[in-house]
Structure 1
Protein backbone atom coordinates (compact mmCIF):
# COMPACT_ATOMS: atom_id res chain seq x y z
CA UNK A 1 0.00 0.00 0.00
CA UNK A 2 1.33 3.44 -0.91
CA UNK A 3 2.19 5.77 1.96
CA UNK A 4 -0.34 8.58 2.57
CA UNK A 5 0.56 11.87 0.95
CA UNK A 6 1.76 14.65 3.29
CA UNK A 7 -1.40 16.65 2.57
CA UNK A 8 -3.55 13.71 3.63
CA UNK A 9 -1.53 13.21 6.81
CA UNK A 10 -1.99 16.88 7.65
CA UNK A 11 -5.75 16.66 7.03
CA UNK A 12 -6.02 13.58 9.26
CA UNK A 13 -4.10 15.37 12.01
CA UNK A 14 -6.35 18.44 11.82
CA UNK A 15 -9.49 16.30 11.94
CA UNK A 16 -8.12 14.40 14.93
CA UNK A 17 -7.28 17.61 16.76
CA UNK A 18 -10.75 19.02 16.18
CA UNK A 19 -12.42 15.80 17.27
CA UNK A 20 -10.34 15.67 20.43
CA UNK A 21 -10.68 19.32 21.40
CA UNK A 22 -13.50 18.79 23.88
CA UNK A 23 -11.62 15.89 25.46
CA UNK A 24 -8.94 18.13 26.96
CA UNK A 25 -8.58 17.56 30.67
CA UNK A 26 -6.65 18.80 33.69
CA UNK A 27 -3.25 19.41 32.16
CA UNK A 28 -0.51 16.85 32.71
CA UNK A 29 0.48 18.55 35.97
CA UNK A 30 -3.08 18.45 37.33
CA UNK A 31 -3.44 14.72 36.76
CA UNK A 32 -0.04 13.99 38.25
CA UNK A 33 -0.84 16.08 41.34
CA UNK A 34 -4.16 14.30 41.87
CA UNK A 35 -2.55 10.87 41.63
CA UNK A 36 0.43 11.76 43.82
CA UNK A 37 -2.04 12.72 46.54
CA UNK A 38 -3.94 9.47 45.99
CA UNK A 39 -0.75 7.40 46.33
CA UNK A 40 -0.23 8.71 49.85
CA UNK A 41 -3.63 7.40 51.00
CA UNK A 42 -3.67 3.96 49.39
CA UNK A 43 -4.08 1.01 51.73
CA UNK A 44 -1.37 -1.64 51.74
CA UNK A 45 -3.56 -4.02 49.76
CA UNK A 46 -4.57 -1.37 47.22
CA UNK A 47 -0.98 -0.20 46.77
CA UNK A 48 0.11 -3.77 46.07
CA UNK A 49 -2.65 -4.28 43.50
CA UNK A 50 -1.82 -0.99 41.80
CA UNK A 51 1.86 -2.00 41.62
CA UNK A 52 0.87 -5.32 40.07
CA UNK A 53 -1.25 -3.64 37.38
CA UNK A 54 0.99 -0.72 36.45
CA UNK A 55 3.02 -1.12 33.24
CA UNK A 56 6.81 -1.19 33.48
CA UNK A 57 6.93 2.32 32.00
CA UNK A 58 5.28 3.67 35.17
CA UNK A 59 8.43 3.12 37.21
CA UNK A 60 6.27 1.95 40.10
CA UNK A 61 4.35 5.24 40.38
CA UNK A 62 0.66 5.56 39.53
CA UNK A 63 1.07 9.31 39.03
CA UNK A 64 3.31 8.82 35.98
CA UNK A 65 0.44 7.11 34.15
CA UNK A 66 -2.40 9.43 35.14
CA UNK A 67 -2.09 11.64 32.01
CA UNK A 68 -2.14 8.48 29.85
CA UNK A 69 -5.79 8.70 28.81
CA UNK A 70 -5.10 12.02 27.08
CA UNK A 71 -2.10 10.64 25.20
CA UNK A 72 -4.17 7.86 23.58
CA UNK A 73 -7.21 9.90 22.61
CA UNK A 74 -6.17 9.89 18.92
CA UNK A 75 -6.04 6.08 18.99
CA UNK A 76 -9.11 5.51 21.18
CA UNK A 77 -11.55 7.91 19.52
CA UNK A 78 -14.48 6.20 21.25
CA UNK A 79 -13.11 7.40 24.60
CA UNK A 80 -13.30 11.13 23.83
CA UNK A 81 -16.75 11.67 25.43
CA UNK A 82 -15.62 9.80 28.55
CA UNK A 83 -13.58 12.80 29.70
CA UNK A 84 -16.58 15.05 30.43
CA UNK A 85 -20.35 15.46 30.72
CA UNK A 86 -22.56 18.18 29.25
CA UNK A 87 -25.59 19.87 30.72
CA UNK A 88 -28.14 21.79 28.62
CA UNK A 89 -27.05 25.16 29.98
CA UNK A 90 -28.21 24.48 33.54
CA UNK A 91 -26.29 24.43 36.81
CA UNK A 92 -27.30 20.92 37.82
CA UNK A 93 -26.37 17.44 36.65
CA UNK A 94 -28.76 14.56 36.03
CA UNK A 95 -27.25 11.27 34.96
CA UNK A 96 -30.19 10.09 32.86
CA UNK A 97 -30.33 13.42 31.02
CA UNK A 98 -26.66 14.33 30.71
CA UNK A 99 -24.53 11.16 30.62
CA UNK A 100 -24.39 10.19 26.93
CA UNK A 101 -22.27 10.77 23.84
CA UNK A 102 -23.23 12.79 20.76
CA UNK A 103 -25.15 9.79 19.39
CA UNK A 104 -27.23 9.51 22.55
CA UNK A 105 -25.58 6.34 23.87
CA UNK A 106 -26.21 6.34 27.62
CA UNK A 107 -23.33 5.98 30.03
CA UNK A 108 -20.80 7.47 27.61
CA UNK A 109 -19.59 10.29 29.83
CA UNK A 110 -17.07 10.74 32.63
CA UNK A 111 -19.49 9.48 35.29
CA UNK A 112 -20.35 6.35 33.33
CA UNK A 113 -16.65 5.78 32.66
CA UNK A 114 -15.71 5.93 36.35
CA UNK A 115 -18.45 3.46 37.23
CA UNK A 116 -17.57 1.17 34.32
CA UNK A 117 -13.85 0.97 35.06
CA UNK A 118 -14.57 0.50 38.75
CA UNK A 119 -16.73 -2.50 37.85
CA UNK A 120 -13.95 -3.90 35.66
CA UNK A 121 -11.33 -3.51 38.39
CA UNK A 122 -13.55 -5.32 40.87
CA UNK A 123 -12.78 -8.48 38.87
CA UNK A 124 -9.10 -8.23 39.86
CA UNK A 125 -7.98 -11.46 41.49
CA UNK A 126 -10.99 -13.42 40.29
CA UNK A 127 -10.63 -16.95 39.03
CA UNK A 128 -10.69 -17.47 36.10
CA UNK A 129 -8.63 -14.40 35.28
CA UNK A 130 -10.53 -11.28 34.28
CA UNK A 131 -11.10 -10.80 30.55
CA UNK A 132 -10.63 -7.03 30.90
CA UNK A 133 -7.33 -5.24 30.36
CA UNK A 134 -7.13 -4.16 33.99
CA UNK A 135 -3.96 -2.15 33.45
CA UNK A 136 -5.85 0.12 31.08
CA UNK A 137 -8.88 0.06 33.38
CA UNK A 138 -6.72 1.40 36.22
CA UNK A 139 -5.15 4.14 34.09
CA UNK A 140 -8.51 5.22 32.70
CA UNK A 141 -10.11 5.26 36.15
CA UNK A 142 -7.30 7.32 37.69
CA UNK A 143 -7.55 9.85 34.87
CA UNK A 144 -11.32 10.16 34.84
CA UNK A 145 -11.58 10.65 38.61
CA UNK A 146 -9.31 13.64 38.04
CA UNK A 147 -11.41 14.87 35.14
CA UNK A 148 -14.73 14.82 36.97
CA UNK A 149 -13.26 17.14 39.61
CA UNK A 150 -12.36 19.81 37.05
CA UNK A 151 -15.47 22.05 37.18
CA UNK A 152 -15.59 22.73 33.43
CA UNK A 153 -15.64 19.00 32.70
CA UNK A 154 -19.25 18.99 33.86
CA UNK A 155 -20.48 22.17 32.24
CA UNK A 156 -22.53 23.64 29.42
CA UNK A 157 -22.90 21.86 26.09
CA UNK A 158 -23.37 25.11 24.17
CA UNK A 159 -19.86 26.41 24.88
CA UNK A 160 -18.25 22.96 25.22
CA UNK A 161 -17.28 23.48 28.82
CA UNK A 162 -15.70 26.86 28.18
CA UNK A 163 -13.73 25.75 25.10
CA UNK A 164 -15.69 28.26 23.00
CA UNK A 165 -15.23 31.18 25.40
CA UNK A 166 -12.13 33.11 24.35
CA UNK A 167 -10.49 35.20 27.05
CA UNK A 168 -7.08 36.53 28.05
CA UNK A 169 -5.28 35.01 31.00
CA UNK A 170 -3.37 38.12 31.95
CA UNK A 171 -1.79 38.89 28.53
CA UNK A 172 -2.13 35.46 26.96
CA UNK A 173 -4.98 34.59 24.61
CA UNK A 174 -6.65 31.27 25.37
CA UNK A 175 -10.04 29.75 26.07
CA UNK A 176 -11.67 29.48 29.48
CA UNK A 177 -11.42 25.70 29.57
CA UNK A 178 -7.64 25.89 29.13
CA UNK A 179 -7.49 28.42 31.94
CA UNK A 180 -8.96 25.88 34.34
CA UNK A 181 -7.14 22.89 32.89
CA UNK A 182 -3.68 24.43 32.87
CA UNK A 183 -3.18 28.14 33.46
CA UNK A 184 -4.44 28.49 37.03
CA UNK A 185 -2.29 25.53 38.06
CA UNK A 186 0.76 26.95 36.28
CA UNK A 187 0.24 30.35 37.90
CA UNK A 188 -0.27 29.05 41.42
CA UNK A 189 2.77 26.79 41.05
CA UNK A 190 4.84 29.80 39.98
CA UNK A 191 3.54 32.16 42.68
CA UNK A 192 3.29 29.84 45.66
CA UNK A 193 5.33 26.69 45.06
CA UNK A 194 8.61 27.79 43.46
CA UNK A 195 7.52 26.37 40.08
CA UNK A 196 7.87 22.85 41.50
CA UNK A 197 5.16 20.20 41.20
CA UNK A 198 6.38 18.15 44.17
CA UNK A 199 6.39 21.27 46.35
CA UNK A 200 2.78 21.91 45.38
CA UNK A 201 1.84 18.33 46.24
CA UNK A 202 3.54 18.70 49.63
CA UNK A 203 1.67 21.95 50.22
CA UNK A 204 -1.71 20.47 49.35
CA UNK A 205 -1.05 17.43 51.55
CA UNK A 206 0.07 19.65 54.42
CA UNK A 207 -3.15 21.65 54.22
CA UNK A 208 -5.41 18.59 54.30
CA UNK A 209 -7.43 18.38 57.49
CA UNK A 210 -8.92 15.23 58.99
CA UNK A 211 -12.37 16.83 58.82
CA UNK A 212 -11.87 17.55 55.12
CA UNK A 213 -10.94 13.96 54.35
CA UNK A 214 -13.83 12.60 56.42
CA UNK A 215 -16.31 14.87 54.67
CA UNK A 216 -15.00 14.06 51.19
CA UNK A 217 -15.24 10.34 51.92
CA UNK A 218 -18.76 10.57 53.34
CA UNK A 219 -20.56 8.88 50.46
CA UNK A 220 -18.38 5.78 50.95
CA UNK A 221 -20.87 4.70 53.60
CA UNK A 222 -23.27 3.67 50.84
CA UNK A 223 -21.38 3.35 47.54
CA UNK A 224 -18.04 2.33 46.08
CA UNK A 225 -18.00 5.30 43.71
CA UNK A 226 -19.88 8.54 44.09
CA UNK A 227 -19.08 9.92 40.64
CA UNK A 228 -22.59 11.31 40.30
CA UNK A 229 -22.05 13.40 43.44
CA UNK A 230 -18.70 14.68 42.15
CA UNK A 231 -20.36 15.77 38.91
CA UNK A 232 -23.04 17.66 40.81
CA UNK A 233 -20.29 19.46 42.73
CA UNK A 234 -18.39 20.34 39.57
CA UNK A 235 -21.23 21.90 37.63
CA UNK A 236 -22.13 23.94 40.70
CA UNK A 237 -18.56 25.22 40.91
CA UNK A 238 -18.48 25.86 37.17
CA UNK A 239 -21.47 28.17 37.50
CA UNK A 240 -20.35 29.87 40.72
CA UNK A 241 -16.67 30.35 39.87
CA UNK A 242 -15.53 29.31 36.38
CA UNK A 243 -18.18 31.02 34.22
CA UNK A 244 -18.76 33.97 36.53
CA UNK A 245 -17.12 37.19 35.25
CA UNK A 246 -15.55 35.27 32.34
CA UNK A 247 -17.51 36.35 29.29
CA UNK A 248 -16.13 36.29 25.75
CA UNK A 249 -13.20 38.70 25.42
CA UNK A 250 -12.74 39.22 29.17
CA UNK A 251 -9.26 39.82 30.57
CA UNK A 252 -8.80 37.60 33.62
CA UNK A 253 -6.12 38.66 36.09
CA UNK A 254 -5.38 38.85 39.80
CA UNK A 255 -8.97 39.27 40.97
CA UNK A 256 -10.12 36.15 39.14
CA UNK A 257 -6.97 34.18 40.02
CA UNK A 258 -7.00 34.98 43.74
CA UNK A 259 -10.62 33.88 44.16
CA UNK A 260 -10.37 30.79 41.94
CA UNK A 261 -7.05 29.11 42.69
CA UNK A 262 -8.29 27.85 46.12
CA UNK A 263 -11.11 26.07 44.25
CA UNK A 264 -8.63 24.44 41.87
CA UNK A 265 -6.43 23.34 44.77
CA UNK A 266 -9.40 21.90 46.62
CA UNK A 267 -10.59 19.96 43.58
CA UNK A 268 -7.12 18.51 42.98
CA UNK A 269 -6.96 17.38 46.61
CA UNK A 270 -10.51 16.02 46.59
CA UNK A 271 -9.80 14.09 43.41
CA UNK A 272 -6.75 12.51 45.00
CA UNK A 273 -8.48 11.54 48.23
CA UNK A 274 -11.47 10.12 46.40
CA UNK A 275 -9.35 8.18 43.92
CA UNK A 276 -7.57 6.56 46.86
CA UNK A 277 -10.93 5.81 48.46
CA UNK A 278 -12.24 4.11 45.31
CA UNK A 279 -9.07 2.05 44.84
CA UNK A 280 -8.99 1.03 48.51
CA UNK A 281 -12.55 -0.21 48.32
CA UNK A 282 -11.93 -2.03 45.04
CA UNK A 283 -8.87 -3.91 46.26
CA UNK A 284 -9.71 -4.41 49.94
CA UNK A 285 -11.12 -7.93 49.65
CA UNK A 286 -12.00 -8.24 53.35
CA UNK A 287 -14.15 -5.13 53.49
CA UNK A 288 -15.73 -5.90 50.14
CA UNK A 289 -16.91 -9.33 51.34
CA UNK A 290 -18.32 -7.79 54.49
CA UNK A 291 -20.32 -5.32 52.39
CA UNK A 292 -21.30 -7.63 49.56
CA UNK A 293 -24.82 -6.24 49.37
CA UNK A 294 -23.65 -2.63 49.01
CA UNK A 295 -24.41 -1.16 45.56
CA UNK A 296 -21.42 -0.01 43.51
CA UNK A 297 -22.87 3.37 42.67
CA UNK A 298 -26.09 5.32 42.58
CA UNK A 299 -28.28 4.83 39.50
CA UNK A 300 -29.46 8.44 39.32
Structure 2
Protein backbone atom coordinates (compact mmCIF):
# COMPACT_ATOMS: atom_id res chain seq x y z
CA UNK A 1 0.00 0.00 0.00
CA UNK A 2 2.80 2.44 0.84
CA UNK A 3 4.44 1.76 -2.52
CA UNK A 4 1.18 2.43 -4.30
CA UNK A 5 0.73 5.71 -2.43
CA UNK A 6 4.14 7.14 -3.22
CA UNK A 7 3.94 5.94 -6.82
CA UNK A 8 0.63 7.78 -7.20
CA UNK A 9 2.26 10.91 -5.78
CA UNK A 10 5.11 10.60 -8.25
CA UNK A 11 2.69 10.33 -11.16
CA UNK A 12 1.01 13.58 -10.17
CA UNK A 13 4.36 15.35 -9.92
CA UNK A 14 5.49 14.06 -13.30
CA UNK A 15 2.34 15.29 -15.00
CA UNK A 16 2.33 18.68 -13.29
CA UNK A 17 5.94 19.81 -13.70
CA UNK A 18 7.80 20.73 -16.91
CA UNK A 19 11.07 19.07 -17.86
CA UNK A 20 13.47 21.61 -16.37
CA UNK A 21 16.64 21.11 -14.38
CA UNK A 22 15.93 19.51 -11.00
CA UNK A 23 12.51 21.12 -10.85
CA UNK A 24 11.96 24.07 -8.52
CA UNK A 25 12.38 22.09 -5.30
CA UNK A 26 15.80 20.70 -6.15
CA UNK A 27 17.07 24.16 -7.08
CA UNK A 28 15.57 25.83 -4.01
CA UNK A 29 17.02 23.29 -1.60
CA UNK A 30 20.46 23.39 -3.24
CA UNK A 31 20.39 27.20 -3.10
CA UNK A 32 19.53 27.18 0.59
CA UNK A 33 22.36 24.74 1.31
CA UNK A 34 24.75 27.00 -0.61
CA UNK A 35 23.68 30.12 1.26
CA UNK A 36 24.24 28.45 4.63
CA UNK A 37 27.89 27.76 3.71
CA UNK A 38 29.03 31.04 2.21
CA UNK A 39 32.10 32.68 3.66
CA UNK A 40 31.71 36.19 5.11
CA UNK A 41 33.31 37.67 1.98
CA UNK A 42 31.04 35.71 -0.34
CA UNK A 43 27.97 36.55 1.75
CA UNK A 44 28.76 40.26 1.55
CA UNK A 45 29.35 40.05 -2.21
CA UNK A 46 26.14 38.12 -2.86
CA UNK A 47 24.08 40.49 -0.73
CA UNK A 48 25.64 43.43 -2.55
CA UNK A 49 24.42 41.99 -5.84
CA UNK A 50 21.04 40.47 -4.92
CA UNK A 51 20.05 42.44 -1.83
CA UNK A 52 17.68 40.40 0.33
CA UNK A 53 16.85 37.86 -2.40
CA UNK A 54 17.52 34.38 -0.95
CA UNK A 55 19.65 32.02 -3.01
CA UNK A 56 16.76 29.55 -2.88
CA UNK A 57 14.81 32.05 -5.00
CA UNK A 58 17.74 33.12 -7.16
CA UNK A 59 18.42 29.46 -8.03
CA UNK A 60 15.17 29.10 -9.98
CA UNK A 61 15.46 32.39 -11.90
CA UNK A 62 17.16 30.97 -15.00
CA UNK A 63 14.38 28.41 -15.47
CA UNK A 64 11.68 31.03 -14.96
CA UNK A 65 13.29 33.16 -17.69
CA UNK A 66 12.97 30.31 -20.19
CA UNK A 67 9.39 31.43 -20.81
CA UNK A 68 10.55 34.97 -21.65
CA UNK A 69 9.79 35.58 -25.38
CA UNK A 70 12.91 37.73 -25.82
CA UNK A 71 15.13 35.99 -28.44
CA UNK A 72 18.12 35.99 -26.09
CA UNK A 73 16.31 33.57 -23.76
CA UNK A 74 14.71 31.52 -26.50
CA UNK A 75 17.69 31.09 -28.84
CA UNK A 76 20.92 31.46 -26.91
CA UNK A 77 20.52 30.95 -23.17
CA UNK A 78 18.73 27.61 -23.48
CA UNK A 79 21.99 25.85 -24.32
CA UNK A 80 23.56 27.09 -21.09
CA UNK A 81 21.65 24.54 -19.00
CA UNK A 82 23.53 21.43 -20.15
CA UNK A 83 26.63 19.95 -21.77
CA UNK A 84 26.85 17.16 -24.34
CA UNK A 85 29.30 14.27 -24.37
CA UNK A 86 29.44 12.21 -27.58
CA UNK A 87 28.45 8.53 -27.21
CA UNK A 88 31.50 6.50 -26.31
CA UNK A 89 33.55 9.50 -25.16
CA UNK A 90 35.21 9.08 -21.78
CA UNK A 91 34.86 12.69 -20.71
CA UNK A 92 33.49 16.11 -21.57
CA UNK A 93 35.67 18.24 -23.86
CA UNK A 94 34.95 22.00 -23.76
CA UNK A 95 36.59 22.36 -27.18
CA UNK A 96 33.54 20.60 -28.62
CA UNK A 97 31.10 23.13 -27.13
CA UNK A 98 28.71 24.69 -29.66
CA UNK A 99 29.42 28.16 -31.01
CA UNK A 100 26.87 29.74 -28.68
CA UNK A 101 28.35 28.01 -25.65
CA UNK A 102 27.05 25.46 -23.18
CA UNK A 103 26.79 25.20 -19.39
CA UNK A 104 30.55 24.83 -18.91
CA UNK A 105 31.60 27.75 -21.11
CA UNK A 106 28.77 29.97 -19.84
CA UNK A 107 29.81 29.32 -16.24
CA UNK A 108 33.38 30.32 -17.10
CA UNK A 109 32.11 33.53 -18.69
CA UNK A 110 29.95 34.36 -15.66
CA UNK A 111 32.95 33.74 -13.40
CA UNK A 112 34.93 36.33 -15.35
CA UNK A 113 32.07 38.83 -15.20
CA UNK A 114 31.56 38.38 -11.47
CA UNK A 115 35.30 38.79 -10.85
CA UNK A 116 35.43 42.00 -12.93
CA UNK A 117 34.64 45.02 -10.70
CA UNK A 118 33.50 47.00 -13.76
CA UNK A 119 30.66 44.60 -14.68
CA UNK A 120 27.37 46.52 -14.71
CA UNK A 121 24.95 45.76 -11.84
CA UNK A 122 22.20 44.23 -13.99
CA UNK A 123 24.66 41.98 -15.78
CA UNK A 124 26.30 41.05 -12.48
CA UNK A 125 22.93 39.94 -11.08
CA UNK A 126 22.25 37.89 -14.21
CA UNK A 127 25.70 36.30 -13.98
CA UNK A 128 25.27 35.35 -10.33
CA UNK A 129 21.77 33.91 -10.70
CA UNK A 130 22.65 31.98 -13.84
CA UNK A 131 25.98 30.73 -12.48
CA UNK A 132 24.30 29.35 -9.38
CA UNK A 133 21.68 27.67 -11.55
CA UNK A 134 24.29 26.15 -13.87
CA UNK A 135 26.25 24.70 -10.94
CA UNK A 136 23.06 22.95 -9.85
CA UNK A 137 22.19 21.84 -13.38
CA UNK A 138 25.57 20.19 -13.81
CA UNK A 139 24.82 18.00 -10.80
CA UNK A 140 21.63 16.69 -12.44
CA UNK A 141 22.92 13.63 -14.33
CA UNK A 142 20.60 14.04 -17.32
CA UNK A 143 22.06 17.50 -17.98
CA UNK A 144 25.29 15.80 -18.98
CA UNK A 145 24.04 14.00 -22.05
CA UNK A 146 25.84 11.29 -23.93
CA UNK A 147 22.95 9.98 -26.01
CA UNK A 148 20.89 11.41 -28.84
CA UNK A 149 17.74 11.85 -26.76
CA UNK A 150 18.08 15.44 -25.48
CA UNK A 151 19.22 14.43 -22.03
CA UNK A 152 16.50 11.84 -21.53
CA UNK A 153 13.69 14.10 -22.77
CA UNK A 154 13.33 11.74 -25.72
CA UNK A 155 13.49 8.58 -23.60
CA UNK A 156 9.86 7.74 -22.85
CA UNK A 157 8.99 6.00 -19.61
CA UNK A 158 5.76 4.95 -17.93
CA UNK A 159 4.94 5.15 -14.24
CA UNK A 160 1.89 3.12 -13.27
CA UNK A 161 0.69 3.31 -16.86
CA UNK A 162 1.22 7.07 -17.26
CA UNK A 163 3.67 8.34 -19.87
CA UNK A 164 6.55 10.65 -19.02
CA UNK A 165 10.26 10.80 -19.85
CA UNK A 166 13.49 10.03 -18.04
CA UNK A 167 14.59 13.66 -17.82
CA UNK A 168 11.40 14.71 -16.03
CA UNK A 169 11.72 11.73 -13.72
CA UNK A 170 15.13 12.97 -12.57
CA UNK A 171 14.16 16.64 -12.53
CA UNK A 172 11.25 16.25 -10.18
CA UNK A 173 9.79 12.76 -9.87
CA UNK A 174 12.54 11.19 -7.77
CA UNK A 175 12.60 14.06 -5.28
CA UNK A 176 8.81 14.37 -5.20
CA UNK A 177 8.44 10.68 -4.38
CA UNK A 178 9.78 11.43 -0.88
CA UNK A 179 6.85 13.86 -0.38
CA UNK A 180 8.83 16.31 1.75
CA UNK A 181 8.65 20.10 1.93
CA UNK A 182 11.73 22.14 1.03
CA UNK A 183 12.56 22.61 4.70
CA UNK A 184 12.19 18.95 5.59
CA UNK A 185 14.22 17.83 2.58
CA UNK A 186 16.99 20.29 3.37
CA UNK A 187 17.02 19.18 7.02
CA UNK A 188 17.30 15.54 5.98
CA UNK A 189 20.18 16.26 3.62
CA UNK A 190 21.95 18.44 6.20
CA UNK A 191 21.71 15.62 8.74
CA UNK A 192 22.57 12.77 6.38
CA UNK A 193 25.55 14.47 4.75
CA UNK A 194 26.76 16.74 7.54
CA UNK A 195 30.44 15.81 7.21
CA UNK A 196 30.49 15.82 3.42
CA UNK A 197 28.68 19.16 3.11
CA UNK A 198 31.20 20.97 5.31
CA UNK A 199 34.34 19.12 4.34
CA UNK A 200 34.49 16.54 1.52
CA UNK A 201 32.35 18.35 -1.08
CA UNK A 202 34.44 21.46 -1.61
CA UNK A 203 35.41 20.68 -5.18
CA UNK A 204 34.92 23.86 -7.23
CA UNK A 205 36.03 22.44 -10.58
CA UNK A 206 33.06 21.99 -12.96
CA UNK A 207 34.93 19.24 -14.84
CA UNK A 208 34.71 17.08 -11.71
CA UNK A 209 30.96 17.63 -11.35
CA UNK A 210 30.45 16.82 -15.04
CA UNK A 211 32.43 13.58 -14.78
CA UNK A 212 30.33 12.50 -11.80
CA UNK A 213 27.08 13.30 -13.58
CA UNK A 214 28.18 11.53 -16.75
CA UNK A 215 28.90 8.32 -14.84
CA UNK A 216 25.55 8.48 -13.05
CA UNK A 217 23.70 9.39 -16.24
CA UNK A 218 24.96 6.25 -17.94
CA UNK A 219 23.71 4.16 -15.02
CA UNK A 220 20.30 5.83 -14.89
CA UNK A 221 18.76 4.43 -18.08
CA UNK A 222 16.41 1.57 -17.15
CA UNK A 223 16.44 -1.73 -19.00
CA UNK A 224 12.74 -1.26 -19.77
CA UNK A 225 10.61 1.83 -20.13
CA UNK A 226 8.37 0.80 -17.27
CA UNK A 227 9.50 2.47 -14.04
CA UNK A 228 8.73 0.33 -11.00
CA UNK A 229 9.10 1.15 -7.28
CA UNK A 230 12.53 -0.46 -7.28
CA UNK A 231 13.85 2.29 -9.55
CA UNK A 232 12.79 4.93 -7.04
CA UNK A 233 14.30 3.02 -4.16
CA UNK A 234 17.61 2.79 -6.02
CA UNK A 235 17.91 6.27 -7.51
CA UNK A 236 16.07 8.64 -5.16
CA UNK A 237 19.02 8.58 -2.70
CA UNK A 238 21.36 9.32 -5.62
CA UNK A 239 19.22 12.29 -6.72
CA UNK A 240 19.10 13.67 -3.18
CA UNK A 241 22.85 13.26 -2.83
CA UNK A 242 23.39 15.26 -6.04
CA UNK A 243 21.19 18.08 -4.74
CA UNK A 244 23.27 18.17 -1.55
CA UNK A 245 26.50 18.14 -3.55
CA UNK A 246 25.20 20.96 -5.76
CA UNK A 247 24.57 23.05 -2.66
CA UNK A 248 28.02 22.40 -1.23
CA UNK A 249 29.79 22.97 -4.55
CA UNK A 250 27.84 26.20 -5.13
CA UNK A 251 29.26 27.54 -1.87
CA UNK A 252 32.75 26.28 -2.74
CA UNK A 253 32.62 28.00 -6.15
CA UNK A 254 31.40 31.32 -4.74
CA UNK A 255 33.77 31.24 -1.77
CA UNK A 256 36.71 30.63 -4.11
CA UNK A 257 35.55 33.34 -6.49
CA UNK A 258 35.31 36.02 -3.83
CA UNK A 259 38.50 34.93 -2.09
CA UNK A 260 40.30 35.33 -5.41
CA UNK A 261 38.60 38.67 -6.04
CA UNK A 262 39.66 40.02 -2.63
CA UNK A 263 43.27 38.96 -3.24
CA UNK A 264 43.51 40.32 -6.80
CA UNK A 265 45.33 43.64 -7.29
CA UNK A 266 43.14 46.53 -8.38
CA UNK A 267 44.14 47.95 -11.74
CA UNK A 268 42.53 50.88 -13.56
CA UNK A 269 40.35 49.97 -16.49
CA UNK A 270 41.72 50.83 -19.89
CA UNK A 271 39.71 53.05 -22.27
CA UNK A 272 39.35 50.05 -24.55
CA UNK A 273 37.90 48.07 -21.67
CA UNK A 274 35.31 50.75 -20.94
CA UNK A 275 34.39 50.86 -24.63
CA UNK A 276 33.88 47.09 -24.69
CA UNK A 277 31.70 47.23 -21.59
CA UNK A 278 29.60 49.98 -23.18
CA UNK A 279 29.15 47.82 -26.26
CA UNK A 280 28.19 44.86 -24.05
CA UNK A 281 25.62 47.02 -22.27
CA UNK A 282 24.11 48.23 -25.55
CA UNK A 283 23.99 44.67 -26.86
CA UNK A 284 22.13 43.56 -23.75
CA UNK A 285 19.58 46.35 -24.28
CA UNK A 286 19.23 45.35 -27.94
CA UNK A 287 18.53 41.73 -27.00
CA UNK A 288 15.74 42.84 -24.71
CA UNK A 289 14.14 44.99 -27.39
CA UNK A 290 14.32 42.53 -30.32
Q: Please classify the TM superposition score into its range, dividing by the shorter chain length.
A: 0.7 to 0.9
- Taking structure 1 as reference, are residues 141 and 166 closer, same or farther at Cα in structure 2, changes over 3 Å only? same
Report whether the alignment pairs 1:130 with 2:130. Answer: no
Correspondence for 2:105: 112
Q: Which moves more between the two structures, 108-117 or 256-265?
A: 108-117
Unaligned 5+ segments in structure 2 are 1-17, 266-290
Shift of 1:26: 1.3
Report whether the alignment pairs 1:145 with 2:135. Answer: yes
- 1:158 alignment partner, SS class: coil
Shift of 1:170: 3.5
Report whether the alignment pairs 1:228 with 2:213. Answer: no
Correspondence for 1:14: none
Distance 2:34 2:245 in 1: 9
Distance 1:40 1:65 in 2: 14
Alpha carbons 1:30, 1:185 under 8 Å: kept:
yes
- The equivalences for 1:76-91 within 5 A come to 76-77=73-74, 78-90=76-88
- Taking structure 1 as reference, are residues 172 and 63 closer, same or farther at Cα in structure 2, changes over 3 Å only? same
Correspondence for 2:148: 158
Over residues 161-187 of structure 1, what are the superposed CA-to-partner deviations in whole Å (9 max), with x where a residue is unaligned? Answer: 111111113343211100000111111
Report whether the alignment pairs 1:41 with 2:37. Answer: yes
Distance 2:59 2:177 in 1: 21
Shift of 1:92: 3.0
Over residues 22-49 of structure 1, what are the superposed CA-to-partner deviations in whole Å (9 max), with x where a residue is unaligned? Answer: x831101111011011011011121111
Unaligned 5+ segments in structure 1 are 1-20, 220-224, 291-300
Report whether the alignment pairs 1:243 with 2:232. Answer: no
Correspondence for 1:293: none
Distance 2:85 2:24 in 1: 25
Equivalent position to 1:272, from 247, 261, 281 = 247
Correspondence for 1:196: 181
Over residues 109-162 of structure 1, what are the superposed CA-to-partner deviations in whole Å (9 max), with x where a residue is unaligned? Answer: 111122211121112xx3xx3247111110000100000000000012411111
Please, what TM-score do these two structures have when normalized by structure 2?
0.77
Please, what TM-score do these two structures have when normalized by structure 1?
0.74
- 2:242 alignment partner, SS class: helix
The CA RMSD over aligned residues, in Å, is 2.2
Correspondence for 2:193: 208
Distance 1:149 1:44 in 2: 25
